[in-house]
Chain A
Amino acid sequence: MRIKGKAWKYGDDIDTDVIYPGKYLVSFDPAEAGKHALEGLEADFYKKIAPGDILVVGKNFGSGSAREQAAMALRAAGIGAVVAESFARSFYRNALNLCLPVVELPGIQSATEERDELEVDLDEGLVRNLTKQKDYHFPPLPAFIMEILKVGGAAYYKAKARREAARSAP
């Protein structure tokens, strides 16, 4: 799985209230959600990015509420991957379930400049900064997590439940 795009840099401790404000919690419509992505930090964020662009952020990204719409909004806005110093646990799981690649890579934020062209290779465990000609390695994710990222949490579990039912069928 490879994602290629421009880097958009933000700081530490970006919480889910700024990623997807509470007043929008009534809606689970991805198209609507995309318009509000990162609204707490920057109005109309979705307008400035090209599909597949990559968020490069500091520590504790996605802290606060477990609202899945935070991951939904970023993906719907066109973000191809989020590379962070570290993630809050609930956001990380939500991103996996919605096929939004999330990569934890200490040191990446200071090493990257805004608008650097990046390529994230999840199978290889590699973030390539094409602008700076530098590679950064990260440990590849467990196989089942890669599968969830590829098909989504619900689809993964649906297939898993089918396999288990087939195995235990008389």
Chain B
Amino acid sequence: MGMTITEKILARAAGKTSCTPGEIVEAGIDVAMLHDIGTTGIQGPLKELGITALPPSVEVVIIPDHFVPAPTAKAADNLKLTREFAKKHHVGSYYEIGRGGICHQVMAEKGHVRPGEVIIGPDSHTTTYGAFGAFAVGLGVTDMAIGLGLGKLWFKVPPTVKVVLQGKLRPATAAKDISLMLLKELGTEELSYKAVEMTGRVIDELSIDGRMCICDIAAEMGAKNCIIPPDKTTLDYLRARTAKPLSSLASDPGAAYEEIKEFDVSTLEPLIACPHVPTNVRPVREAAGAKIDQAFLGSCTNGRMEDLRIAAGIIKGKKIHPEVRLIITPASQEIYRDALKEGLWEIFIDAGALITNPSCGACFGGHLGLLGEGETCISTANRNFIGRMGSPKASVYLASPATVAASALAGQIADPTEYLK
């Protein structure tokens, strides 16, 4: 019997020839990502572990992103701690404010994610790196301290559910709509604790930006990890960003999947997650007309060039609705600069939008655009739980960049189809 790609990675990392779902293995950690919150949080556990030096076997990458630049003195203290930790441990891959961005985007841009590797991060959306064929899982700070301090950590091998996406996306729909469709169809229980392997013609044809969006949102479905076997798209992207050798591993033809789920995206229409859970998904046309106060374009889910271009295409030459503020938070400094070069910022500024620095920002209720009582926001982020973006009496809808752009112009939730025929 063959193994799935997830099983292969865990077996190799655990020094075994094979492993099976349900088995507990101790896997060597290849890459440990830390952000400002994670670096702050691991200090206690590292001390308890008695760790004074980090093992050379783990590639450590530190990217402050949540409270960046510091909105409070406490946040500044955490950033200082983060900076000093990076310096003390000679962490070469430390991305200072102004040189990085949202952790998950920077990890990919700078080539710290590679097929076949075990990558851990103190953030649920670490699942994003599965888009590059890595086993990538989000953990709390104690597990992070163990993983990066001792170079290994226990995992229960997850069973794999294979998702096959067939058909062809319509012009008005994108990766985010696929993610929302999966949230609707699979909810939060079917994929709980499982590995999700994304395959099919639609995935083959999807850009890196789109693949990252899907693997990012897998976290909301309770999956342990989400993985896309590497192909030419993966390798082309990474070869430009890392000199390290890249594996082309794949699931064996005889691999055992717990389930195989097929979806055809040809009839997919723009979707939206309504308050107050990501799985409360409906067609945009059903939610259309609901008044909004804020539109947010950004986050590790949809703060990339592809997302900004789609939004700019819809907004160009028009004005944001007078009663709406559109806040744009690009996912990295690199994207910020590329958007500038492509003239996207001019389009957004002329329309009346606010562009912030790269940061997790408003998505998690940190800073850079929170909501007040009774306010409604349509957002390209990944969570809309009560209180997520500020007031517990605010409402958040989740949608694609196209839908967010169309809604920002209309002053209410609007279907972007008319703009993208």
Contact A97 B124 (CB under 8 A): no
Residues facing A in B333-384 (CB within 8 A) are 364-366, 383
Contact A144 B154 (CB under 8 A): yes
Write the nearest CB–CB distance from B204 to chain A, whole angstroms: 29
Collect the chain B residues with CB atoms within 8 Å of residue A17's CB: 364-365, 383, 385-388
Residues facing B in A36-69 (CB within 8 A) are 40, 59-60, 63-69
Which of B96-104, B140-148, B159-167, B253-261 makes up part of the contact surface?
A: B140-148
**Interface size class of chain B, counting residues whose CB lies under 8 Å from the partner chain:** 35 or more
Bitwise, B14-46 to A at CB < 8 A (1) or not (0) is: 000000000010000000000001001101110
Contact A25 B277 (CB under 8 A): no
| Bound-complex Cα distance A86 to B191 (A) | 13
A-B contact count (CB 8 A): 124
Bitwise, A140-170 to B at CB < 8 A (1) or not (0) is: 0010100000001111011001000000000
Contact pick for B188, options A63, A67, A152, CB 8 Å: A63
Bitwise, A1-35 to B at CB < 8 A (1) or not (0) is: 00000000000010101100111011110000000
Contact A40 B392 (CB under 8 A): yes
Contact B364 A22 (CB under 8 A): yes
Contact A28 B40 (CB under 8 A): yes
Interface size on A, residues (CB 8 A): 39
Contact B387 A157 (CB under 8 A): no
Write the nearest CB–CB distance from A26 to chain B, whole angstroms: 5
Bitwise, B127-155 to A at CB < 8 A (1) or not (0) is: 00000000000111111011000100010
Q: Is B266 an interface residue (CB 8 A)?
A: no
Contact B189 A59 (CB under 8 A): yes
Contact A90 B139 (CB under 8 A): yes
Contact B48 A65 (CB under 8 A): no
Contact A153 B146 (CB under 8 A): yes
| Bound-complex Cα distance A155 to B386 (A) | 35
Q: Is B122 an interface residue (CB 8 A)?
A: yes
| Bound-complex Cα distance A19 to B107 (A) | 29
Contact pick for B124, options A60, A90, A98, A155, CB 8 Å: A90
- A66-B138, A153-B146 given; A89·B193 CB < 8 A: yes
Write the nearest CB–CB distance from B218 to chain A, whole angstroms: 12
Write the nearest CB–CB distance from A128 to chain B, whole angstroms: 27
Collect the chain B residues with CB atoms within 8 Å of residue A153's CB: 45, 142-143, 146
Q: Is B72 an interface residue (CB 8 A)?
A: yes
Given contacts A23-B366, A59-B189, 8 further A-B contacts (CB under 8 A): A15-B385, A17-B365, A59-B188, A64-B383, A65-B124, A66-B123, A154-B45, A161-B49
A-B contacts, 19 of them at CB < 8 A, read: A18-B385, A22-B365, A25-B37, A26-B37, A26-B78, A40-B386, A40-B387, A60-B189, A63-B220, A65-B364, A66-B124, A67-B37, A68-B141, A90-B124, A90-B140, A97-B142, A97-B143, A154-B48, A155-B48
Complex A-B, nearest 5 residue pairs according to Cβ-Cβ distance, in ascending order = A68-B140, A94-B140, A22-B365, A97-B142, A154-B48
